[in-house]
Amino acid sequence: MSDFSVSTRYAKALWELAEAEKSFEQVARDVDFTLNTFRDSRDLRNVITSPIISTDKKLKVIDTIFGGKISATGIKFLKFIILKNREEVFGDILKRFAEIRDEEFGILRVEVTAAYDMPPEQRKQLEAKLSDYSGKKIEAVYKKDENIIGGFLVRMKDTVIDASVKNQLELLRKSLREEKVNFNLN
């Protein structure tokens, strides 16, 4: 069975458990917190996915890191993944749950990179346009990168909208090179 199928199956099981316990919002927050922690800590990823570290130690790591920070349901589910020897898809399961949640509620997560901190009004306008474009509710994360000079770059799933000055200059440079080549050929 593919990792995608396994992660989907486990993510759907967590979804059903959360609905049955009427704790969906808490479980969704638990997944977000756990996923962010997992992404941010290479040490945690290495411990959880290591075939050398015993199951008991991995379970203790879960208690130590997540105890008191996520719900009992969240802790039980994380331990369940380990007890079923699915550590290699630990992060994939959490990502898949978040993807299913976003699909279900019509949410599109985007990353916006700008050369400056966008003011709230400009963020609202951009999110409204992206919402009109995608037909979904936009949840945006904003980053600052002065290397793009001006404008912005939007990443949403497999689509990139590059409205940066850096990109515009590069397109202009390519265009001028092509014209120069075409000019020399005549």
Do 55 and 28 share a structural domain? yes
Q: Give this prediction's pTM.
A: 0.76
Q: What is the pLDDT of residues 22-61, one digit of tens each?
A: 999 999 999 999 999 999 999 999 999 999 999 999 999 9
Q: Based on the structure, what is the number of domains in the chain? A: 2
Tell me: pLDDT of 95 over 90. yes
Output the average pLDDT for the chain. 90
Domain region containing 31: 3-103
Do 155 and 119 share a structural domain? yes
Query: What is the SS3 string spanning 78-113?
Result: HHHHHHCCCHHHHHHHHHHHHHHHHHHHCEEEEEEE
Any idea of the CA torsion for 124, 164, 39, 75, to the nearest 10 degrees?
10
CB 156 within 8 A of CB 127: no
The CATH number linked to 97 is: 1.10.520.20
The CATH number linked to 119 is: 3.40.30
Do 94 and 10 share a structural domain? yes
pLDDT score recorded for residue 184? 55
Do 174 and 138 share a structural domain? yes
Do 124 and 97 share a structural domain? no
Name, in order, each residue with C-beta under 8 angstroms of 79's C-beta and a sequence gap of 6 or more: 59, 62
Do 165 and 87 share a structural domain? no
Do 72 and 96 share a structural domain? yes
pLDDT score recorded for residue 136? 95
Residues in the chain: 186
Q: What is the pLDDT of residues 121-169, one digit of tens each?
A: 999 999 999 999 999 999 999 999 988 888 888 999 888 888 887 777 7
End-of-domain residue from the set 77, 103, 129: 103
Percent of the chain clearing pLDDT 90 (strictly above): 74
Strands across the sheet containing 107-114: 137-144, 107-114, 151-156, 159-164
pLDDT score recorded for residue 154? 92
pLDDT band at 62 (very low <50, low <70, confident <90, very high): very high
